[in-house]
Amino acid sequence: MFNTPLIGSWTQPHSEHRCRPFQTPQKWNVLIFGLSLFMLAGCGGGGGSGASSAGGTTSPVSTTTAVYATPAQESLSTLDVERVLAQAVGEAHALNSPAIIAVTDRVGNVLAVFQMTGARTTMTTSRLTGTYVFNDVDIDAQGIDVNATMGAISKAVTGAYISSSGNAFSTRTASQIVQQHFPPSPTSVGQEGGPLFGAQFSQLPCSDLNTRYTAGAASDALIGPKRSPLGLAADPGGFPLYKNGVVVGGVGVMADGDYGFDPNILDIDSDAEEKIALAGSQGFAAPDTITADRISLSGTLLRYSDATVGNLHPLETRFSAVDATYGNLIAVRGYTDGTLRGGAAYGTEASGYRRSSTAEFSFPDAFVLTDGSGHNRYPIRAGTDQADVGQALSAPEVQTVLEEAYRVMAKARGAIRRPLDSHAQMTISIVDSYGKVLGLVRSPDAPVFGTDVSVQKARTVAFFANPKAEQQLNDTLDAEVPLFAQRFKTFLNDPDALTGKYAFGARSIANLARPYFPDGELGRPNGPLSRPIADFNPFATGLQVALIKSNLLQHALHVRGSLGIVNDTGTQCTGLPDAPTGQRRLANGIQIFPGAVPIYRGETMVGAIGVSGDGIDQDDMVSFLGLNNGALRVGSISNAPKARRADNIVVPIGSGVRLRYASCPVAPFLGSSEQNVCEGL
């Protein structure tokens, strides 16, 4: 997700600058609901061009020999869940810090939520700024109260979703990689944003990809990936859970009523929530060899936990000793009926992820999403947008590009996995210009979070390269959204910037969605898709949030239920108008870090490919080079024409800042000395 060389400098018009996604200032300011509903704005950061001439010619990956090992089908049993809860509750009691503890499986099913007597039932999103002016009205940016169970569940989902058999990340790790400077500390001011800037707004409760808990459901109850109440969390107090080296779930804790993040990695915090979650993970802890503090990004070791096992109190492993004594299991509307249950084994039909059949995909180690009855949720299909594009993507074209992208991925060196020189693992998806998913494939152990994110990325670049982008933004029901379209055109000094004139890669959109432009440089203006830095925070980032804030508000009110039963948010995000087919173009929100490019047939954008799961440059390479190689095979589609790519745009700041289109690692392939494989394409 995050490693790339820096070439040149942002202030040179023809320079290349690497982008880091995912950013956040102080403790996360979660739902910008109620009063702060109106203070949301856009986000940004990244952009450049590149392609590879050699990438498709070296050591082609066989379609008959498996490259990846498939994780063992491990799962959390009910006894395992009881032990996790007992250990966490015991530590919370010893610390005199009553808490809400949530446990999920790897695909996001909530297995139990335990509320201790005296625990805070609401939490407040952290206050970061004083006043934000919207439509000449001063709106106070105080934190907003939401149900604390939403924070506990989001933390557990995050620990499970961003981890794998090759990397174990906690919510403290997420905190480090989602802020406006990386690494986040008083001494790193001026550095680029975190490599996963924007990923907090994935796994949204309105996502059309993520599944939902259904009370009383039987066989389909465990189908994932499930949605998260607040997206991905960066508040310490969430860890992945492992059995025999395989990630099987996550544990999340809310106790202090403050849902935020850590703005300074230079000190060691004493965080009760983190201690409680760490206690809960004992016996299910990640292998020491793959925890985040063994993984370096750009020379900076990641953080995993400020709490240590040696400082925990003696563990209470008996659930019978804490149940009804220190609290009880509770129901959470939309997530659990209050019953404790075991989890799904990832890789089985019941989990929603399984190995593909040879008829679905030619590689023997490829995985797909399943409905639990053997049916691929996203089978290869033709585009649905022929009314707008003339000749839609055909099923063979989609199949070929997915195959070639998979080949590039299977040769690539992973950036965030241990041991070193592991193969990269990702999710790859293709959408048409309406945002309809035409196919999705993944490696066996790719992080779960990348499933939703890959589709978000693909839809984002298809949207911004669409001739109807400006019209869509202006026709949304939210009065704030059209302001971003106007700022976008003004910033690029081009009234036609949102009419299909340019092809924007995900890295281009990232460039334009940061609170500093160029990314990280103090004293510079914010990108047009971001809020100004004085009003910026992780849950008021800019257009990304403005598009889905009403969905988040409705869901929070539904979960809380204090105003009566409020209907849950719908299964398609944003208030944008529907495409002619009824598909909403950004049905799971936008994403603002690299890893996607649009697909063209001649001068017409017909879709996009999105990739997520490893380093951002690796994601970029698999999308850009996979499309290039697939296009060479079919001869009928291509990457965007060079004259239309966003790296032709030079923003008049300083001596000029050229947007980026895509960026590939310098020496990306295992067992190969190739360098600069995307150069010149």
Which residue ranges make up each domain of the chain? 34-65+351-658, 95-127+135-178+232-346
Q: How far is CA 22 from the centre of its chain?
A: 9
d(CA 423, CA 669) in angstroms, rounded, equals 9
Compute the average pLDDT of residues 89-104: 98
Q: What is the pLDDT of residue 64?
A: 78
Q: Which of 272-286, 434-448, 451-465, 654-668 has the lowest mean pLDDT?
A: 654-668
Q: What integer pLDDT is reported at residue 61 of this predicted model? A: 80
**In which residue are the tokens 């204090």 written?**
562
| CA–centroid distance for 599 within its chain | 22
Q: How confident is the model at residue 399 (pLDDT cuts 50, 70, 90)?
A: very high
Mean pLDDT score of the chain: 87
C-alpha span between 481 and 477 (Å, rounded): 8
Average of per-residue pLDDT across 461-480? 95
pLDDT computed for residue 220 by the predictor: 62
Task: Show the 3-state SS of 75-102.
Answer: CCCHHHHHHHHHHHHHHHHHCCCCCEEE
Q: Diameter of the chain by CA atoms?
A: 68
Q: What is the pLDDT of residues 4-16, one digit of tens each?
A: 332 222 333 333 3
* Burial class of residue 185, CB neighbours in 10 A (0-12, 13-18, 19+): middle
For 556-612, write each residue's pLDDT tens digit: 999 988 667 789 999 999 999 999 999 999 999 999 999 999 999 999 999 999 999
The whole-number pLDDT of residue 39 equals 31
Lowest mean pLDDT among 75-79, 218-222, 609-613: 218-222
Listing DSSP states for 628-666 in one string gives HHHHHHHSS-BSPPGGGBGGG-EE-STT-EEPP-----S
The pLDDT, as a whole number, for residue 42 is 29
The length of the chain is 681
pLDDT confidence of residue 219: 52
Whole-number pLDDT of residue 598: 98
| Residues in contact with 461: Cβ distance below 8 Å, sequence separation at least 6, in sequence order | 503, 504, 505, 506, 509, 596, 597, 598, 608, 610
Is 21's pLDDT higher than 70?
no
Confidence of residue 217 (pLDDT cuts 50, 70, 90): low
Instruction: Read off φ and ψ for residue 401, nearest 5 degrees.
Output: -65, -40
Q: What is the pLDDT of residues 26-36, one digit of tens each?
A: 333 333 333 33
Cβ neighbors of 554 (< 8 A, separation 6 or more) are 566, 567, 568, 569
Mean pLDDT value of segment 211-220: 76
Which residues neighbour 80 within 8 Å (Cβ) at sequence distance 6 or greater?
Answer: 243, 284, 342
Q: How confident is the model at residue 192 (pLDDT cuts 50, 70, 90)?
A: confident
- Answer yes or no: is pLDDT of 648 > 80: yes
How would residue 381 be classed by pLDDT, with cut points 50, 70 and 90?
very high
Cβ distance 402 to 408 under 8 Å? no
Mean pLDDT throughout 431-451? 98
Helix (H, G, I), strand (E, B) or coil at 59: coil
What token pair was written down for 282? Answer: 């004992």
pLDDT confidence of residue 50: 35
Higher pLDDT, 537 or 211: 211
The H helix count followed by the E strand count for the chain is 13, 20
Amino acid letter, 29? N
Domain 34-65+351-658, CATH class in plain words: alpha beta
Look up residue 324 and give its amino acid: A
pLDDT for 45: 31
Q: Whose structure tokens read 């529907």?
A: 578
pLDDT at residue 446 in the model: 98
More confident residue, 343 or 62: 343
Answer whether residue 258 shows pLDDT above 70: yes
- Residue 411, H or E segment: helix 395-411
What is the Cα–Cα distance from 622 to 645, expressed in whole angstroms?
A: 18
CB 226 within 8 A of CB 369: no
**Residue range 411-423: average pLDDT?**
94
Contact predicate 68/424, CB 8 Å? no
Which H/E stretch holds residue 559? Answer: helix 549-560
More confidently predicted of 88 and 566? 88
Higher-pLDDT residue of 219 and 34 is: 219
Backbone angles phi, psi at 519, to 5 degrees: -50, 120
Q: Looking at the predicted structure, is the pLDDT value of residue 132 above 60?
A: no
- Is residue 553 scored above 90 in pLDDT? no
- Residue 626 tokens read as 């996979």
C-beta separation of 169 from 292 below 8 A: yes
- % residues pLDDT > 90 (the chain): 72
Alpha-helical segments (H) within 561-647: 616-634
Of the candidates 250, 211, 235, which has an alpha carbon nearest to the alpha carbon of residue 105? Answer: 250
3 state DSSP class of 31: coil
d(CA 584, CA 347): 30
Tens of pLDDT, residue by residue over 491-510, are 999 999 999 999 999 999 99
List Cβ neighbours of 29 (8 Å cut-off, separation of 6 or more): 36, 125, 126, 127, 128, 141, 143, 260, 537, 538, 539, 540
pLDDT surpassing 80 at residue 3: no
Neighbours of 69 (CB within 10 A): 11
Let me know: does 178 contact 200? Beta carbons within 8 Å: yes
pLDDT for res 181: 65
**How many angstroms separate the CA atoms of 106 and 365, rounded?**
19
When pLDDT is averaged across residues 308-319 and rounded to a whole number, the result is 97
